[in-house]
């Protein structure tokens, strides 16, 4: 789903929805596009879907204090401004071996201040666990980066059987209600933190 290009009202919040999986045949875009639609229906948010599969961030990082290699600089030029502009994030993640994808960790680790004093929510999907073990590990990572993770999540257990051929949930009421609750919490934190930073810059 492309970024919402309608005029942005001053009070609106910028929400970046990050698709964490880059695996061929991944289910992430189905889940992310549905969730982005839920967020785009609100009047208090604009939505930018950030698909890491289209951003070629290398695994090799430069020494501290050194500029990135040209390939990394090109990828960062696409990704970093979008993260910096966001007031809040939602990470859409599967669960790989009781954790989250390396592609997602790599994108997180290439950045630091872009996450500071911003709220993060999670939409997870998988088998029996619904990706929730990945979410619990991500909470620890984002705490180190001075981000605030909201309590409520959206999770899809047995996700591949939860959506129809058009990419819509078969039982939309439960996941739609969970999405609204999480988005409400994100909006509260995003607005509170944005207003606080306008009064006093965050000190990390």
The answer, yes or no, to whether residue 114 has pLDDT greater than 60, is: yes
The predicted structure's pLDDT at residue 11: 82
Instruction: Write down the CATH number for the domain with range 13-199.
Output: 3.40.50.360
At a CB cut-off of 8 Å and minimum separation 6, what does 17 contact? 32, 35, 36, 39, 47, 48, 49, 50, 89, 90, 92
What's the pLDDT tens digit per position in 20-53? 999 999 999 999 999 999 999 999 999 999 999 9
Torsion angles phi and psi, residue 49, rounded to 5 = -90, 120
What pTM was computed for the model?
A: 0.93
The answer, yes or no, to whether residue 126 has pLDDT greater than 60, is: yes
């Amino acid at each position: 789903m492309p970024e919402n290009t309608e005029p942005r009202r001053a009070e609106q919040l910028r929400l970046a929805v990050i698709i964490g999986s880059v695996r061929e045949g991944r289910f992430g875009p189905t889940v992310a596009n549905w969730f982005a639609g839920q967020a785009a229906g609100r009047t208090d948010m604009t939505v930018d879907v950030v698909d890491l599969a289209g951003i070629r961030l290398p695994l090799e990082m430069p020494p501290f204090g050194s500029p990135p290699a040209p390939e990394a600089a090109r990828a960062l030029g696409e990704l970093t401004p979008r993260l910096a502009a966001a007031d809040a994030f939602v990470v859409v993640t599967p669960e790989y071996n009781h954790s989250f994808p390396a592609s997602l960790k790599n994108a997180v680790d290439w950045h630091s201040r872009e996450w500071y004093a911003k709220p993060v929510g999670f939409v997870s999907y998988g088998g029996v666990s619904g990706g929730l073990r990945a979410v619990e590990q991500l909470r620890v990572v984002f705490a180190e980066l001075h981000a605030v993770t909201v309590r409520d999540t959206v999770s899809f257990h047995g996700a591949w059987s939860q959506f129809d051929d058009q990419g819509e949930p078969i039982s939309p009421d439960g996941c739609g209600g969970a999405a609204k609750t999480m988005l409400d919490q994100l909006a509260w934190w995003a607005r509170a933190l944005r207003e606080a930073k306008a009064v006093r810059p965050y000190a990390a």
